């Protein structure tokens, strides 16, 4: 908590999260709960506020008398603070006495601590630590990590935990470009667990099930871990998660279980058809690209020999006719259009009906309600970044530019953004798929 810009992020043990707070918030909007947590008042966005188990001070020898007095108030009421003893005040207000006032408070909190031989001191109901690692302090507080993953540092998912009166809510995000199969451990027990998918709005209850085989994008079958065993023991819950590249989910532990919520079941992806070329790709006028091109197989725009296609930025439409076997349209079956890889955003329209927009893996859209037996017209609208047009207009002849010269930003060297076009377009493979076991008939 750097009060005036000094101090750096402290080492935080794996499985714990933190926020920064400034001096004004500390002075006017904090208190201590009955169990010793530091509570920060709520706002319109978060009416219940936030609470924290410990306060980490910056590596600084200075502190204002007002802030030091506030820390005495908090620690006396039961708070835990961690950090070095301050020795003088940075303020010029009441300069003749400010150091003495600050030292009076520091003496109450740090006493004879030196951060080496003596590393803790009790004041009232609370404690001050100096010279001990946060790992040691969390152990002394008997505080287990809030979240742990079977993946190592650098590959572990990002996470946030929030508590509400009705639930413990964890947001888990795979920040890699590869699927992640992991065991996730949460500091929650005695509650059912639900998996919420923000892209689809699907909610399912997690239960103990057997491992299934899941077909990957290459058609190979791999062990699937969603969901594997959900185990609760010793105040912790362990859940196996199977996340797609860049996928994020909510794991929710409600106070009251929803008895109507269906249980998550392991599924196998079944390919119904692979949609190969040719594809017609249509481009808007006056954006540098031809009106349309034919692709016998999917490939990035950035690999195209035509400069207008290679440097295109905007929305282009891939169209083709696809034939659907009536046997695929079983009652209760849901059919998805799996786009494989997309750079960067895709909107799917089938037989004139919008089916959805996707911008992250898995690039998969439910097309059940738009499909019909026989011939179907498929349109996939792909939108990429404006970057490629900027890069291209720095290279092409003046008469082929889309951006007027006076509006074209100059190249900024190594740190001025990409100097080559970024991969763009529909990369595929594009497939119609369903999952097994299928949901009960509606």
Q: What is the pLDDT of residue 230?
A: 65
Q: What is the pLDDT of residue 154?
A: 59
- In this structure, of 138-142, 194-198, 215-219, 249-253, the range with the lowest mean pLDDT score is 215-219
Pair 303, 287: CB distance under 8 Å: no
Bridge partners (DSSP) of residue 56 are 82
395: confidence class by pLDDT, cuts 50, 70, 90: confident
If one counts every other C-beta atom within 10 angstroms of the C-beta of residue 303, the result is 12
Q: What is the pLDDT of residue 342?
A: 95
- Structurally, what CATH architecture does the domain formed by 147-266 represent? Sandwich (2.60)
As a whole number of angstroms, the distance between CA 374 and CA 63 comes to 76
Check whether 229 has a pLDDT greater than 80: no
Strand ranges across the sheet with 279-282: 292-295, 279-282, 315-324, 374-383, 345-350, 353-358
Q: What is the pLDDT of residue 221?
A: 44
Give whichever of 92-106, 152-166, 182-196 has the largest mean pLDDT.
182-196
Check whether 143 has a pLDDT greater than 80: yes
Q: What is the pLDDT of residue 223?
A: 41
Mean pLDDT of the chain: 85
Check whether 233 has a pLDDT greater than 90: no
Helical residues (DSSP H) of 3-61, grouped into ranges: 23-29
Q: What is the pLDDT of residue 108?
A: 96
Q: What is the pLDDT of residue 4?
A: 38
If one counts every other C-beta atom within 10 angstroms of the C-beta of residue 124, the result is 15
Q: Would you kindly state where each structural domain of the chain is located, as residue ranges?
A: 23-140, 147-266, 272-436
Give whichever of 94-98, 259-263, 335-339, 415-419 has the largest mean pLDDT.
335-339
* Count of alpha carbons within 13 angstroms of residue 320, beta-carbon side: 20
- Helices H, strands E: what count in the chain? 6, 30
**Burial annotation 42-52 (CB, 10 A radius, 16+ → b, else e):** eeeeeeeebbb
Domain 147-266 and domain 272-436, same fold? Reply is no
Rg (C-alpha) for the chain, rounded Å, is 29
Q: What is the pLDDT of residue 36?
A: 93
Q: What is the mean pLDDT of residues 4-17?
A: 63
- In this structure, of 42-56, 227-241, 244-258, the range with the lowest mean pLDDT score is 227-241
Tokens found for residue 2? 């750097």
Q: What is the mean pLDDT of residues 33-49?
A: 82
Q: Give the residue with greater pLDDT, 181 vs 356.
A: 356
Give whichever of 47-51, 152-156, 186-190 has the largest mean pLDDT.
186-190
- The torsion region of residue 209 among left (phi > 0), alpha (psi -120 to 50) and beta comes to beta
- Structurally, what CATH architecture does the domain formed by 272-436 represent? Sandwich (2.60)
182: confidence class by pLDDT, cuts 50, 70, 90: confident
90: confidence class by pLDDT, cuts 50, 70, 90: confident
Q: What is the pLDDT of residue 437?
A: 57
């Amino acid at each position: 908590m750097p009060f005036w810009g000094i101090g750096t992020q402290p080492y935080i043990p794996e499985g714990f999260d933190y926020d920064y707070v400034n001096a004004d918030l500390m002075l006017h909007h904090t208190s201590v709960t009955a169990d010793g947590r530091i509570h920060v008042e709520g706002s319109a966005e978060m009416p219940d506020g936030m609470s924290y188990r410990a306060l980490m001070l910056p590596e600084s020898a200075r502190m204002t008398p007002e802030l030091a007095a506030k820390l005495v108030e908090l620690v006396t009421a039961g708070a835990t603070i961690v950090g070095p003893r301050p020795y003088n005040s940075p303020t010029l207000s009441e300069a003749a006495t400010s150091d003495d006032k600050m030292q009076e408070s520091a003496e109450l909190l740090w006493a004879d601590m030196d951060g080496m031989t003596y590393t803790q001191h009790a004041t009232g109901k609370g404690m001050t630590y100096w010279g001990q690692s946060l790992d040691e302090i969390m152990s002394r507080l008997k505080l287990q990590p809030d979240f742990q993953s079977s993946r190592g540092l650098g590959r572990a998912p990002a996470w946030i935990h929030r508590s509400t009166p009705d639930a413990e809510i964890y947001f888990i995000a795979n920040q890699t470009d590869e699927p992640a199969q992991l065991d996730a451990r949460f500091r929650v027990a005695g509650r059912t667990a639900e998996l919420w998918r923000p892209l689809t709005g699907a909610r399912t209850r997690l239960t103990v099930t057997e491992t299934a085989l899941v077909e990957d994008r290459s058609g190979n079958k791999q062990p699937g871990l969603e969901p594997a065993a959900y185990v609760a023991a010793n105040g912790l819950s362990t859940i196996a998660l199977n996340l797609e590249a860049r996928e994020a989910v909510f794991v929710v532990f409600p106070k009251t279980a929803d008895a109507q919520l269906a249980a998550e079941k392991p599924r196998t992806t079944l390919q119904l058809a692979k949609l190969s070329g040719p594809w017609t790709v249509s481009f808007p006028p006056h954006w540098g690209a031809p009106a349309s091109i034919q692709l016998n197989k999917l490939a990035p725009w950035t690999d195209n020999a035509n400069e207008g296609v290679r440097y295109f930025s905007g929305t282009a439409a891939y169209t083709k006719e696809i034939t659907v076997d009536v046997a695929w349209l079983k009652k209760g079956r849901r059919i998805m259009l799996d786009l494989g890889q997309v750079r960067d955003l895709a909107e799917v329209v089938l037989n004139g009906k919008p089916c959805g927009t996707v911008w992250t893996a898995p690039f998969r859209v439910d097309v059940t309600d738009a499909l019909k037996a026989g011939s179907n017209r498929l349109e996939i609208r792909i939108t990429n970044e404006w970057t490629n047009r900027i890069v291209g207009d720095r290279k092409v002849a003046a008469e082929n530019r889309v951006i007027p010269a006076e509006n074209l930003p100059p190249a900024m060297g190594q740190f001025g953004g990409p100097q080559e076009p970024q991969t763009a377009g529909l990369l595929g493979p594009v497939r119609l798929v369903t999952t097994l076991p299928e949901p009960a008939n509606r």
